């Protein structure tokens, strides 16, 4: 039998080892992606359209598509998630209806994204005849994003103390006024953090988009901002391959001579963007909290 | 009788099956301070929270009996809880300023009610903070966060916040029990200044505090009102044996 002191040392050592291993794997992955990808990055690579057969193509359109899709998906899913979270946490009584809703959200959030993609294909692309389009992709991403976002907003509301709600009500504010004028402003920093983090996940999503937003990126005319024109960047009905889908595509069927380099470069851009989201979430969340509370 | 602003008749309250208030009859005259005292779990806080319908927030609560505020039945189906809580304000045990500036905290009720006149708002802020005896301490940083204040200052800002809505009655649920003695005595001074203009009902665990500030004291035990009288009589010459035992520290 070991004495408690040795036992303690062994336990702590093991835990450090495991934690270190995780960090090491993460660093190795990041390092590999960045080391092989960063040299490919240039202004040309980030802005030029892709080429199908020749070398020297860029990811400009894909990068733009990723952001446009992200914004559309967020515009659709955020209001719904906010409403759902407010209803669930501030209004709903604990009964079988809310239990059912919560279970549904749990199940939805654990659906493999490729299943969401296939559902999106059958329903939006085929049934609703939206075709392979940004809109189909945005709806699919909404399905993918909604449960996560709802849960994160609900958690944000939970962090606001009950005494704040009582304080609002005791001042003669209605329930709605208390929620919108006291609780939400107080929860903004943490809601924002949740939104940015989920944006990172949406940004890197590929499987849900392959069958909905499509795998082709028609050239865009960045001087044409009429959303009804097919080459306009704003047109939501055009097919739009995103960066994550592009990576998958190149690796499975890319025939350009510099496929490997483009794939590495795209991965680096993707990873950098997601890292940026994460740091922005931390930074903005902290700053906003400080500004709102000056604590 | 005409001076009575708030009356409760045969008030029962149940948490599920458990009877927490067993028929309370208690009336309050306009102006002055009434202290509600009694051992933990005697129902004094529960009673206080029936007076502005804060118990509505707890599921499974049943209330019978009548509470009337100036002849208006607070539990009538047509009663408007929002209006009621504007006239019957409340300060809580834990100071709960909103995470905004001191200024915004004080005018929050008014601003949401639609008041936009800057001069009027400024005047209300100053008047309320003066009434709550915290003006001199915060007047130079009104636009800083209320969360940066000490607990006692926060509590007085919370009192100012209630005053700004100009209620007639102010309920206080152990307003000093989370505060240090110095802050507590400042709150007591604040309440003594307010007693000529408002009807104040405060729950307290601190018997000395009740004897220092209250005009009237009500003693609760096991969900019943044992005795209510002038504070002096309750402490010097209680009518009930239970009251005397509690006051003299034989239990509770």
Residue A166 touches chain B, beta carbons under 8 Å:
yes
For residue B1, pLDDT over 50 is answered with no
Most confidently predicted of A89-93, B23-27, B144-148: B23-27
Q: In what order do the strands lie in the sheet with B32-37?
A: B88-91, B169-173, B199-203, B32-37, B216-221, B224-230
A147-156, A272-281, B46-55: which range is least confident on average? A272-281
Tell me, yes or no, whether A85 lies in a domain: yes
Average pLDDT (B140-151) is 90
Q: Which pLDDT value is given to residue B98?
A: 92
The distance of A235 to chain B (nearest Cα, Å) reads 41
- Residue B227 CA to residue B220 CA, distance in Å, equals 7
For residue B57, pLDDT over 90 is answered with no
Average pLDDT (A84-99) is 90
Domain with A181, as residue range(s), is 41-293
What is the average pLDDT value for chain B, to the nearest integer?
91
- Residue B52 CA to residue A172 CA, distance in Å, equals 10
Tell me, yes or no, whether B87 lies in a domain: yes
- Residue B126 CA to residue A204 CA, distance in Å, equals 53
Structure tokens at A103: 């279970």
Q: What is the pLDDT of residues A205-216, one digit of tens each?
A: 999 999 998 888
- How sure is the predictor about A136, in pLDDT bands with cuts at 50, 70 and 90? very high
Average pLDDT (A223-245) is 86
State which residue of chain A sits closest to B53, comparing Cα positions. Answer: A170
Q: Which pLDDT value is given to residue B2?
A: 47
Share of chain A above pLDDT 90, in %: 51
Q: Which pLDDT value is given to residue B225?
A: 94
With beta carbons under 8 A apart, name residues in chain B contacting A166.
54, 57, 90, 92, 96
Structure tokens at A144: 């993918």
B234 neighbors B247 (Cβ within 8 angstroms): yes
A38 neighbors A268 (Cβ within 8 angstroms): yes
Task: Give chain B's domain count.
Answer: 1
Residue A295 touches chain B, beta carbons under 8 Å:
yes
With beta carbons under 8 A apart, name residues in chain A contacting B51.
none
Task: Give chain A's domain count.
Answer: 1
Q: What is the pLDDT of residues B61-99, one digit of tens each?
A: 999 999 999 989 999 988 899 999 999 999 999 999 998
Tell me, yes or no, whether B136 lies in a domain: no
The tokens 């990723």 sit on which residue?
A66
Instruction: Select the residue of A172, A185, A294 nearest B86 (Cβ to Cβ).
Output: A172
**Listed residue (B128, B124, B172, B132) closest to B152, CA to CA:** B132
Q: Which pLDDT value is given to residue A115?
A: 92
For residue A294, pLDDT over 70 is answered with no
Cα dihedral A94, A95, A97, A101 in deg (nearest 10): 40
Number of Cβ pairs < 8 A linking chain A and chain B: 78
Cα dihedral A37, A43, A46, A49 in deg (nearest 10): -120
- How sure is the predictor about A244, in pLDDT bands with cuts at 50, 70 and 90? very high
Tell me, yes or no, whether B243 lies in a domain: yes
Contact between A293 and B145 using a beta-carbon 8 Å cutoff: yes
Structure tokens at B202: 């405060």
For residue B132, pLDDT over 50 is answered with yes
- Higher pLDDT pick, B218 / A289: B218
Tell me, yes or no, whether B110 lies in a domain: no
Contact between A172 and B89 using a beta-carbon 8 Å cutoff: yes
With beta carbons under 8 A apart, name residues in chain B contacting A93.
59
Contact between B92 and A186 using a beta-carbon 8 Å cutoff: no
Tell me, yes or no, whether B155 lies in a domain: no
Instruction: Select the residue of B87, B99, B158 nearest A186 (Cβ to Cβ).
Output: B99
Tell me, yes or no, whether A3 lies in a domain: no
State which residue of chain A sits closest to B171, comparing Cα positions. Answer: A170
Domain with B232, as residue range(s), is 4-93+168-247
Tell me, yes or no, whether B162 lies in a domain: no
Q: How many helices (H) and strands (E) does chain B have?
A: 10, 10
Tell me, yes or no, whether A24 lies in a domain: no
Three-state DSSP at B201 gives: strand
Tell me, yes or no, whether B231 lies in a domain: yes
Q: Which pLDDT value is given to residue B252?
A: 54
Contact between B82 and A181 using a beta-carbon 8 Å cutoff: no
Share of chain B above pLDDT 70, in %: 98
Contact between A172 and B94 using a beta-carbon 8 Å cutoff: no
H/E element holding A264?
A: helix A259-293
Tell me, yes or no, whether B203 lies in a domain: yes
Q: Cα-flanking dihedrals φ and ψ of residue A214, to 5°?
A: 90, 175
CATH of the domain at A191: 1.10.3720.10
What residues have CB less than 8 Å from A255, skipping those under 6 apart? A52, A53
- Residue A44 CA to residue A22 CA, distance in Å, equals 36
With beta carbons under 8 A apart, name residues in chain A contacting B74.
none
The distance of A286 to chain B (nearest Cα, Å) reads 14
State which residue of chain A sits closest to B49, comparing Cα positions. Answer: A170
Tell me, yes or no, whether A7 lies in a domain: no
Q: Which pLDDT value is given to residue B52?
A: 92
ipTM of the complex: 0.86
Phi-psi region of A96 (alpha: psi -120 to 50; beta: other; left: phi over 0): alpha
- Residue A46 CA to residue A269 CA, distance in Å, equals 9
State which residue of chain B sits closest to A295, comparing Cα positions. Answer: B148
Instruction: Select the residue of A167, A177, A295 nearest B98 (Cβ to Cβ).
Output: A167
Best residue in B86, B90, B99 for a mutation probing chain A (most A CBs within 10 Å): B99
The distance of A74 to chain B (nearest Cα, Å) reads 27
What sign for the dihedral angle of Cα A110, A113, A115, A121?
positive
Q: What is the pLDDT of residues A47-75, one digit of tens each?
A: 888 887 778 788 889 999 999 999 999 99
Q: How many residues does chain B have?
A: 252
Tell me, yes or no, whether A264 lies in a domain: yes
CATH of the domain at B23: 3.40.50.300
Average pLDDT (A133-153) is 93
């Amino acid at each position: 039998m070991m004495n408690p002191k040795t036992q303690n040392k062994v336990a702590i050592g093991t835990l450090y080892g495991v934690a270190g291993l995780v960090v090491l794997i993460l660093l190795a992955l990041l390092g590999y992606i960045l080391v092989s990808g960063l040299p490919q990055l240039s202004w040309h690579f980030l802005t030029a359209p892709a080429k199908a057969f020749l070398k020297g193509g860029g990811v400009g359109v894909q990068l733009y598509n990723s952001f446009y899709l992200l914004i559309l998906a967020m515009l659709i899913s955020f209001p719904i998630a906010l409403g759902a979270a407010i209803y669930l946490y501030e209004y709903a009584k604990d009964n079988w209806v809310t239990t059912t809703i919560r279970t549904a959200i749990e199940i939805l959030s654990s659906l493999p994204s490729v299943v969401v993609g296939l559902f999106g294909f059958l329903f939006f692309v085929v049934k609703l005849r939206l075709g392979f389009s940004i809109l189909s992709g945005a709806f699919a991403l909404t399905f993918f994003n909604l449960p996560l976002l709802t849960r994160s907003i609900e958690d944000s509301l939970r962090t606001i103390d009950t005494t704040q709600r009582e304080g609002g009500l005791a001042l003669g504010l209605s329930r709605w006024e208390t929620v919108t004028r006291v609780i939400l402003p107080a929860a903004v920093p943490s809601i924002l953090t949740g939104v940015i983090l989920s944006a990172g996940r949406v940004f890197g999503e590929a499987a849900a988009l392959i069958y909905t937003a499509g795998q082709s990126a028609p050239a865009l005319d960045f001087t044409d901002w009429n959303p009804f024109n097919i080459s306009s960047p704003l047109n939501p009905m055009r097919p739009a391959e995103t960066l994550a889908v592009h990576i998958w595509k190149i690796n499975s069927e890319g025939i350009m001579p510099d496929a490997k380099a483009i794939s590495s470069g795209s991965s680096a851009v993707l990873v950098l963007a997601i890292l940026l989201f994460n740091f922005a979430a931390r930074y903005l969340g902290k700053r906003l909290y400080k500004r709102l509370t000056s604590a | 009788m005409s001076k009575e602003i708030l009356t409760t008749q045969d008030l029962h309250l149940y948490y599920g099956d458990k009877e927490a208030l067993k028929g309370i009859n208690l009336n309050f005259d306009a102006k002055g301070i009434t202290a509600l005292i009694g051992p933990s779990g005697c129902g004094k806080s529960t009673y206080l929270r029936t007076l502005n319908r804060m118990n509505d927030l707890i599921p499974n609560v049943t209330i019978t009996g009548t509470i009337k505020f100036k002849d208006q039945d607070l539990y009538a189906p047509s009663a408007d809880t929002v209006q009621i809580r504007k006239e019957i304000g409340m300060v809580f045990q834990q100071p709960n300023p909103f995470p905004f500036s001191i200024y915004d905290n004080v005018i929050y009720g008014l601003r949401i009610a639609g008041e936009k006149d800057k001069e009027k708002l400024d005047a209300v802020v100053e008047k309320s903070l003066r009434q709550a005896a915290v003006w001199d301490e915060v007047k130079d940083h009104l636009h800083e966060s209320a969360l940066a204040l000490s607990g006692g200052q926060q509590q007085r800002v919370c009192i100012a916040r209630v005053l700004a809505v100009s209620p007639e009655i102010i309920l206080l649920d152990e307003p000093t029990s989370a505060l240090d003695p110095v802050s507590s005595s400042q709150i007591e001074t604040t309440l003594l200044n307010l007693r000529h203009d408002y009807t104040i009902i405060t729950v307290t665990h601190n018997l000395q505090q009740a004897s220092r500030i209250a005009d009237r004291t009500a003693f609760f035990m096991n969900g019943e009102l044992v005795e209510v009288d002038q504070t002096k009589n309750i402490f010097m010459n209680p009518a009930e044996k239970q009251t005397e035992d509690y006051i003299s520290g034989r239990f509770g």
